[in-house]
Amino acid sequence: GTMTVGELAKALHKDASEVIKKLLFLGVMATINQELDLDAIQLLASDYNVEVELKIPVEEDKFEQFEEHDEAEDLLGRPPVVTIMGHVDHGKTTLLDAIRKTNVTEGEAGGITQHIGAYQVEIHNKKITFLDTPGHAAFTSMRARGALVTDITIIVVAADDGVMPQTVEAINHAKAAKVPIIVAVNKVDKEGADPERIKQALTEYELVPEEWGGDTIFCNISAKQRIGLENLLDMILLVAEVQEFKANPNKRARGTVIEAELDKGKGPVARVLIQHGTLKVGDSFVAGVCFGRVRAMVNDRGKRLKEAGPSTPVEITGLTEVPQAGDPFIVFEDERKARSIAEKRAVTLRQSEMGANVRVTLDDLYKHIKEGEIKDLNVIIKGDVQGSVEALRGSLEKIEIEGVRVKILHQGVGAITESDVILASASNAIVIGFNVRPEPQAKNTAESEKVDIRLHSIIYKVIEEIEHAMKGMLDPVF
C-alpha cells in the first residue's frame, strides 16, 4: 500500500482539506481515507516542492528473508569462487583456458566444455569455481546490483609489462569489495620478464609479499607454457582454507544469475551460481523479476544434473523470461508463491526506477552524515596529470569533519570512464574530475545510476566543496 490522503497531508504538514483541493486542482478526485497512487503522490509532492523518497517494503524486496535460517552446525565447507582480473593483454583469458584444461578428468576428457559463465576444476579432491568473464567490468557491474559472487580475486600482472592502469583499477575494485587478492605474475617465460620488479611496484598498493613482511600471496606463472598453475591453485585452496567459506547445502537454493540469454532452441536460459542450499530439477524459483521451474540443468561439462549444491555454476531452462546478470535467484516452496513474489518484485522495480534514489550525492551528504548513515565519504579521483591527482588526494585525505573522513577508493590519470562510474555506483562513491571530463558512455551511466560527478580545475575549490557538503553548507546548484 502507499499512503492515504490523510497520511500524506500529515507528512506534508498541511490540512487534509487543502490537499484534497490541491489534488482536485491537479485533476485527481480523492477523499481523506483514499489511498493515492504513486503518480498522484509524486504530482502533489512536486507541486509542494518536496522530494518523495520511496521506501521499498522489505517484504517485497529482500530475498534474504525467504531464506531458511542456518544453525552453525548446518554450515559445511564449499568451493571458493574466484574471479580473474588485470590489465588487458596480461593473460587473463589464457590463464582461464589453461586452468580449465589442467583438469578434465578421465571420463569427461572427451566431453565438450560448455560456456556457462563459470566453471569448476578439481585439485587434490577439492573444487574451485572460476567465473569465466575476465576483467572487472562484470565483477563490478554485478556488485553494483548488490551481488557479490566472488570470494577470491586473482590479479594477473604481466612480468614483461608491469603495473598498468587497469591493474590498479582491479586492485581497487577488489579492495572496495573487501575480497582477498592473490597476485599472479604472468609471462615469466618471456625474455625481459622481471617478477621482482612487479612485487616492488605493487607494494605501493599495499600488496606486500610475505617475504617482505606482508601477507599477499604472489605466484609466478606462465599461463601460456602452463608453468606454476598447480601452485596457483594450491594457493587459492590455502586462502580458502583460511577464510573458511561455508554454506548450508541442505535447504532451498539461493544464488545469483551470472549470465542469461534467449536461446533459439531452449528458450530463456539462465546461468546461475548457486550460493546457498541445493537446486533440484523441478524447483520453482524467482530470478530477478522472472519466475520459472527448473526443467533441465547442465554443468560446465555439458553434463545433465539432477541437483547442484553451493558454489556450483549451472545452466538452467524453464524460465518464463530472460533475467539479467546480477539478478538474485531464489527457490520457493511452490510455483504460486514464486509467481506472486516475481510479480511483486516487478512492481517494486518499476517504482524504484521511477524515483527511489539512495545514492550519496554531495547535495544530500550532510543529511546522511547527520543521520549517522555515513562514516566515510567514498571518492574516486580522475585527473589530467599524476601530480595533481596526488596533490588532490593528499588534501582530501586530510579532511575530517565530525568524525567523517574522505576515503579515496580509486585514483587515476585520464578521462572519467564508465568503469569509474560503475565502481562509484557499486561503492556509493562520488567522482571528482580534475581537469578531465567524463567519456560520453560514463556520462550516460552516471545519469542512469545517479552517480554524482564533480568537475573542477582548482584544488582548493574541490576541498571547499567537499568541506561545505560535509557541513551541510553547500549552495544549491540549479
In the complex, which residues of this chain contact ligand GDP (CB under 6 A)?
A: 86, 88-94, 134, 186-187, 189-190, 222-224
Residue 197 or residue 393: which is nearer to ligand GDP going by CB? 197
For residue 286, report the phi and psi dihedrals to the nearest 5 degrees: -120, 135
Residue closer to ligand GDP by CB (options 186, 278) is: 186
Count the neighbouring beta carbons within 10 Å of the beta carbon of residue 379. 25
CA pair distance 458, 434, nearest whole angstrom: 8
| Smallest separation (angstroms) from ligand GDP to the CB of 94 | 3
**Residue 334 in marked binding region:** no
Of 224 and 344, CB closest to ligand GDP: 224
CB atoms near residue 48 (< 10 Å): 12
CB closer to ligand GDP out of 93 and 361: 93
Residue 364 known to bind ligand: no
Angstrom CA distances, 292 to 4, 122, 273, stand at: 35, 31, 16
Instruction: Provide the greatest CA pair distance for the chain.
Output: 82
13 is in an annotated binding site: no
Residue type, 298: V
Q: Positive or negative, the Cα torsion across 129, 131, 136, 139?
A: negative
CB of 442: closest distance to ligand GDP in angstroms? 21
User: Binding site annotation covers 135?
Assistant: yes
* Paired residues of 246 in beta bridges: 77
CB of 223 to ligand GDP, least distance (A): 4
Q: Is 52 annotated as a binding residue?
A: no
- C-beta of 43 vs 201, nearer to ligand GDP: 201
In 10 A of CB 49, how many CB atoms?
6
Whether 105 has a binding-site annotation, put simply, is: no
Residues in the chain: 478
CA dihedral 232, 234, 236, 237 (to 10 degrees): 170
All three cell numbers of 91, joined, read 593473460
Rounded-to-integer distance, Cα 447 and Cα 357, Å = 12
Least distance CB 365 / ligand GDP (angstroms): 38
Query: With respect to ligand GDP, which residue has the nearer C-beta, 89 or 261?
Result: 89
Considering beta carbons, is residue 134 or 292 the nearer one to ligand GDP? Answer: 134
Minimum CB separation of residue 91 from ligand GDP in Å reads: 3
Q: Is 188 annotated as a binding residue?
A: yes
Residue 90 marked ligand-binding: yes
Q: What single-letter amino acid sits at 164?
A: M
Binding site annotation covers 384? no
Is residue 91 annotated as involved in ligand binding? Answer: yes
C-alpha 335, offset from chain centre: 29
Which helix (H) or strand (E) segment holds residue 140: the answer is helix 136-144
Dihedral sign (CA 149, 173, 83, 117): positive
Q: How far is the CB of 227 from ligand GDP (least distance, A)?
A: 8
CA gap 83, 140 in Å, rounded: 11
Rounded to whole angstroms, how far apart are CA atoms 257 and 321?
A: 13
Nearest approach, Cβ of residue 190 and ligand GDP (Å):
5
Nearer to ligand GDP (CB atom), residue 311 or residue 419: 419
CB of 220 to ligand GDP, least distance (A): 10
Binding site, residues? Answer: 86-93, 132-136, 186-189
Binding site for GTP, residues? Answer: 86-93, 132-136, 186-189
